[in-house]
Amino acid sequence: MYYGPELISDTLAKWANRHRVELLFIQPGKPMQNGYIERFNRTYRTEVLNAYVFETLGEVRRMTADWLIGYNERRPHESLGDLSPRQYLMAISTQPSTSARS
């Protein structure tokens, strides 16, 4: 029985083994090996969990659902020319095709 640094469950390890899925783990004390999720976790903690006082789990779930829409669809991304993903998709879908035609 193998437990990785995140103490994964025995069930997941067995499933991965049966399906020939290799589980890879970041090294302990090296969170930047998974920088994208670390950035997401920090942003979520700052903008949702630390920003409000929640009284129920349902309230947390509703607030999180609303926040995720803004985070994934409306928030400008530097890598997209400071456009939101939705704006970027609209911009590239209206551009003429640049594929070569014979």
Q: Which residues contact 31 (CB under 8 A, 6 or more apart)?
A: 38
pLDDT value of residue 102: 47
Digits of tens for pLDDT over the chain (102 positions)?
Answer: 555 545 657 778 888 999 999 988 788 888 778 888 888 889 999 999 999 999 999 999 999 999 999 988 888 888 889 998 888 888 888 877 655 544
Which pLDDT belongs to residue 5?
A: 47
26/30 Cα distance (integer angstroms): 7
- Give the Cα separation of 83 and 91 in Å (integer): 9
What predicted TM-score, i.e. pTM, was given to this entire model? 0.56
